[in-house]
A and B are shown apart, each in its own frame.
Chain A
Amino acid sequence: AQSVSQHNHHVILSEAASLELGCNYSYGGTVNLFWYVQYPGQHLQLLLKYFSGDPLVKGIKGFEAEFIKSKFSFNLRKPSVQWSDTAEYFCAVNENSGGYQKVTFGTGTKLQVIP
């Protein structure tokens, strides 16, 4: 079974600091990768996704992620965080089975940005 690991459970940063959240997955075949964000009191929203092509993916709000196949990783980065980035971030990996997606989520990383 597919597994997704997010090693940082809780990250605290000051505004303007750089961010990198780790994500590793276990499946060795073709994968599609996602980062979702959940702001306090809101639903999960797609931040960015990787299906194919350029392994460096740019998402909304200045976030980017790099797919490194050899390392089974899809780390999320942002050069300079803002207080409004305080949220929980989930890495997810999908397998396309029978025409539908089965998505496995990581346990999430809570990011707290201090003004």
Chain B
Amino acid sequence: DAMVIQNPRYQVTQFGKPVTLSCSQTLNHNVMYWYQQKSSQAPKLLFHYYDKDFNNEADTPDNFQSRRPNTSFCFLDIRSPGLGDAAMYLCATSRGVGNQPQHFGDGTRLSIL
């Protein structure tokens, strides 16, 4: 049973054309995270929401934004994708209270033409 669902699995967009990736969860977790993972690299945290509080990592480009309209959904918006933004984007959730592991979605692989 998928608990963290990312859509779509594969996304192709054009250079400079805005794109939105979506993530939903059935775990009712407080915290939702977005990571970027490039080939042979560690997942890199872009930002996360603790409930409605948005926390941006210092080195996340302004081109990347996020929305969390409710507990279950979180979106990653890339305003003007560049070739360097081609990557796997991972969504994860955690309870946010105490030390609980993160639960990951299958990821969305983004390609830029």
Contacts and interface: CB of A to CB of B under 8 A. Distances in A.
Contacts of A49: 101
Contacts of A101: 31, 94, 96, 99-100, 102
Q: How large is the interface on A (under 10, 10 to 19, 20 to 34, 35 or more residues)?
A: 20 to 34
26 contacts: A4-B42, A9-B40, A36-B104, A43-B4, A43-B106, A44-B90, A44-B92, A44-B104, A46-B101, A90-B42, A96-B99, A100-B30, A100-B31, A100-B50, A100-B96, A101-B31, A101-B94, A101-B96, A101-B99, A101-B100, A101-B102, A103-B102, A107-B40, A107-B41, A108-B40, A108-B42
Interface of A: 4, 9, 32, 34, 36, 42-46, 49, 51, 90, 94, 96, 98-108
A102 B50 CA distance: 11
Contacts of A107: 40-42
A98 B50 contact: yes
B105 interface: yes
Contacts of B99: 32, 51, 94, 96, 101
A73 to B, nearest CB: 17
B96 A99 contact: yes
A102 B45 contact: yes
A63 to B, nearest CB: 15
